[in-house]
Each structure stands twice: as structure tokens, then as C-alpha cells.
Amino acid sequence: MTTMTEGAVGSVREFKMPDVGEGLTEAEILKWFVKPGDTVTDGQVVCEVETAKAAVELPIPYDGVVRDLRVPEGTTVDVGTVIITVDTGGGTAAGPARQTVEPEPEPEQPQGRQPVLVGYGVAASSTRRRPRKPQETLPASAPAEPAAAALQAELNGSGRPAVAGPGPVAGARPLAKPPVRKLAKDLGVDLAAVVPTGPDGVVTREDVHAAVATPAPEPSAGTPARTEPTAPPAAYDTADTARETRVPIKGVRKATAAAMVGSAFTAPHVTEFVTVDVTRTMKLVEELKQDKEFEGLRVNPLLLISKALLVAIRRHPEINAAWDEAAQEIVVKHYVNLGIAAATPRGLIVPNIKDAHGKTLPELARSLGELVTTARDGKTSPAAMRGGTVTITNVGVFGIDTGTPILNPGESAILAVGAIKLQPWVHKGKVKPRQVTTLALSFDHRLVDGELGSKVLADVAAVLEQPKRLISWA
């Protein structure tokens, strides 16, 4: 749709929240990089948004002047919502103008979902949804059609058709988009009791949050009262904002939670532990820091731990596999996309190093450095988090000795690395202070039996105890 503006030369184009091709339905505006009156060019990044996968920068596909920012920062909007308008014909951005809207002819849509370039529109679809209408009213004398009556009965949960009368259909299902229904369910809000403020009587997120803060109205005479749970004691009043803070579950944190629940209750997890003397590995780390081949690169224990795991996988390739439930097959992968769990302000993400098995130690160090920097800046792309095969999570940076990590969905194993610290250790027949850590390997027991998992973990420990095995076993 092109908006023609009176008093300005040219037209105003509406840019909608694009479909990023990940099957996602919404995104949050994190930051605007432009303001009304700014000149933009085709391909220029105008804002940063956060989806359930990652933060993504959106380029504008027009040349022109920014007319209006429709959505403020921190707002979550659905795919297809207009977020910015741009005057593409040389008009000015100063002041609102009367506008007339001229519809453009709808292009023929290809069958099926098509790939979409981020920032350039919503994926084409073979079907078109009709505009949502207000709830229809029926004359008292007009009987409901059988199909409509059956549907209404199902929505009412009564097992029989509702009686239609003047005004909105009795017991009609409240209008709300799926994300809003999910929010209401999570917060325990009955959508039928929410006052809608959206277009055509649609319940919005704000309406749901308002319903949480506002007591539900008393049931009218003749209406069965709902049975509500007993209110908690006043000392634990959930509405006491001075004692509690509620943080909406969205974006990366929401996606991570869903993925972890799915993994925990799909793959049977087994975790094995080993404590190992890594004194020689720590000495090698210090030596590599002085090596010219590693100048400017990030050299730390994680680098050698990653290489040790890659060596163990080379010796036992069966652990680098995936379970295909639909085909009832085990897919052994001849490449390693090494995931590195990273804690970020937006939640836990697991980007992976593609084809890590073929990288030299300096190349692996460079990839690790880039991965960590990108994650810390919140710039990790969705593609960087797809296709992982095994993962390392370094809980030791928080001073934790070990843990029982949950598999990244679709992967076969995850290695947790504990804190490395001086401990009394028997070395060459004497108790001495040595650098010691505990490793924990969780694996999918459908794919990996105890023998295979034990061998892989033992090999990782052996390499870290005697780093020269990086040469002899490579």
C-alpha cells in the first residue's frame, strides 16, 4: 500500500516488521538509529530488533526522508506491523499532513512459503486472510446456522448451541492474537473478563497487563460466579510492586526456556564426571600467549579444552550424531559445529563455530574470540546458532566446580567445565598443590551408551592432563 500525501511531492511508503524467515511471529524494537526528518538510503540499517532467536539489524528498502516512527523502543510488535514510514518522493517530514490512501494491486502470490531477505517484507503466502470484523450481532428471531451454533457451543464449553440475541453473540470467544492468548494464560487472566482497547475489539498485551493490576468485576445477577483460588496472605501479595518485580518472558530468554524444557523431556540425559590435573595445560596456555602465531588472539584454557574435545570426537566419531525421530535413524555427522554457551544480558545463547574440526589452533582461537565478542555485543545472528552438533559450557568462570548441563536441542553431548583452581593433588607420589578442574559430560542416552560417553570424557581429561597428546592423537 502506498500512501499519497497532499502538499508533498511523491509518496510515503510504509515499512512493516519483516518475517526473518525463522517461523517467528513477533519482535521487540530494541533501538532506533534514525529519527523523523533523517534522510535514509536503500539498505541503510534503521533499527535493531530482538526476536526469540537473536538481535537483528533491519535495513530499509527505500531512499527518502523518515516521516514517522510508528513504534517506540521497547515495544513488541507482530510481523507485518508498520513500524516506520518514509517519504520516498522528496517531500518534507515536518508536521502531519492529510493523507489519502490508494491501494496498490495485489500481486499474484506463489504457492507455499518463500524465503525472505531480512528487512525486505513479509514472506509471500498462497492465502490471504480477510480483515478482522467486529463481533456480529444477530436479530433475536434469526436462528444460528448449524455449523456456527456448533462452533459457538464448543467455545462456550456447554455442549449445546448458545442462544443468539441482540448485541454480541453470547459467550463469543474474545478476539486476541496467539501471543496475547499465551500471555493471558501465563498470567492467569480470563480473556472474557478483559476490556479490549484494540481495533475492532481486539484484546492487546496492554489490556492483559491492565487486567492483572485491576480486580475482576463482580459477576452480575444470574451469572454463575467463577471459583477463584484463595488469595495469598497480605505479606505475600503479588500485586505489591514494592516487594516484587515482574519481568516479561520474551525474546531469547523465552525461546531458551522452551528449548531447554523440550530437550530435558525428550532426550534421556546421562551425566558423567571426572576430576583432572590440568597444571600442564595451564602452563601451555601461558606459553602460547607469548607465541607470535597467537599475537592478538584470545588464548585461554577454553581454547585448549575445545581442542581436546575435538580430538576426542575424532577418536570416537559416533558421539557426534543426532536422533531423527521421524525417520527412526541415527544421523552420524562427519563435521563438528562446536557450540559455546554464552551468557548475555538478553539470556543464554549458544552460537557455534562452523566446521571447527578442520581448524588449526590459531584459527580456532580467532573463531572463539569473534564468537565471544559478537555474543557480548548482542550481534549474534540466527544462522550462527543453527546447526550445532556438540556444545561446551564454561561454568567455571562463575567459580562453580561443575554441573549437570542440559543438551542443546538436536545435539548429542554437552561438556561442562568447572573452575580451575589450586588443590592438593597426589603428583609423582607426593601431595602437591596442582591446578585441578572437574569436567561433566551430559549425553543423549538414545545415541550414546555409557561406554562411548566414558571414553570421550576420559580422552578429554587425558589431553588436558598431558597436552602433548594434541600432537600424538591428532
Q: Which pairing describes strands 269-277 and 342-344: parallel, antiparallel, or unpaired?
A: unpaired
Instruction: Please name the residue ranges forming H helices in 56-199.
Output: 146-156, 178-187
The active-site residue out of 209, 269, 316, 445 is 445
3-class DSSP state of 423: strand
Concatenate the DSSP letters of all residues of 345-368 into one string. Answer: TTEEE--EETTGGG--HHHHHHHH
Beta bridge partners of 425: 432
For 385, the grid coordinates are 546458532
For 20, the grid coordinates are 526473518
Alpha-carbon gap, residue 394 to 405, rounded angstroms: 10
Element (H, E) at 50: strand 45-50
Amino acid at 232: P
Alpha-carbon gap, residue 265 to 267, rounded angstroms: 6
Alpha-carbon gap, residue 67 to 94, rounded angstroms: 8
Going from the C-alpha of 25 to that of each of 21, 78, 114, 122, the distances in angstroms are 10, 6, 16, 11
For 355, the grid coordinates are 566446521
Residue 357 a catalytic site member: no
Answer for the pair 319, 341: CB distance below 8 angstroms, yes or no: no
Amino acid at 288: L
Going from the C-alpha of 62 to that of each of 43, 49, 107, 157, 352, the distances in angstroms are 8, 19, 19, 50, 34
For 226, the grid coordinates are 467463577
Classify residue 433 by its DSSP letter: E
Residue located via cell numbers 535514509? 40
Half-sphere exposure of 350 (CA within 13 A, CB side): 27
Alpha-carbon gap, residue 365 to 123, rounded angstroms: 38
Please give the backbone phi and psi of residue 173, each rounded to the nearest 5 degrees, phi first: -70, 130
Alpha-carbon gap, residue 356 to 302, rounded angstroms: 14
Alpha-carbon gap, residue 448 to 269, rounded angstroms: 10
**Looking at the annotation, which residues are catalytic?**
445
